[in-house]
Amino acid sequence: MRRPRIPVLALVADAVAVLVFAAIGRASHEEAGSVVGLLGTAAPFLVGVVAAWASPWVRAHPVGIRAGGLVLAGTAVLGLLLRAAFTGRLPLSFAIVTVVSLAVLLLGWRGIAALTSRLSHRRTSVR
């Protein structure tokens, strides 16, 4: 049985992952630590998260690795396209770092959740 709060928590986890990505990127380029700057950097990718979450598959299986792949694709593709539209450029190195970083963050928390769930299930079935 799926708990109603799981999709909400998964969406929040995806948004936090994008904010962490943006914060690390800004810090690595020694950009000012303002909240407005962080949100401006994260905004195109947050739009991608929201668009990916429009998929019924993501909403039905929000913690699954397949859903994570869809969220990663939507976030990276739409985020990079929007960023390129606003900045007028998209360096290949930035695109590669973006996809790899978002993959680690968006798929990473799902992998940890799956592992934790399996370990918890084994403990309860042994008793």
Encoded tokens for 68: 């994570």
3-class secondary structure, 3: coil
Rounded distance between C-alpha atoms, residue 80 and residue 43, angstroms: 11
pLDDT of 117 reads 84
pLDDT of 49 reads 98
Rounded distance between C-alpha atoms, residue 96 and residue 6, angstroms: 30
Report yes or no on whether pTM surpasses 0.85: yes
Task: Judge contact between 40 and 29, C-beta under 8 A.
Answer: no
pLDDT of 126 reads 57
pLDDT of 33 reads 76
**pLDDT tens string for the chain (127 positions)?**
456 788 999 999 999 999 999 999 999 988 777 899 999 999 999 999 999 999 999 999 999 999 999 999 999 999 999 999 999 999 999 999 999 999 999 999 999 999 998 887 776 765 5
Encoded tokens for 47: 């739009």
Q: Residue 56 has what DSSP assignment? A: H
pLDDT of 98 reads 97
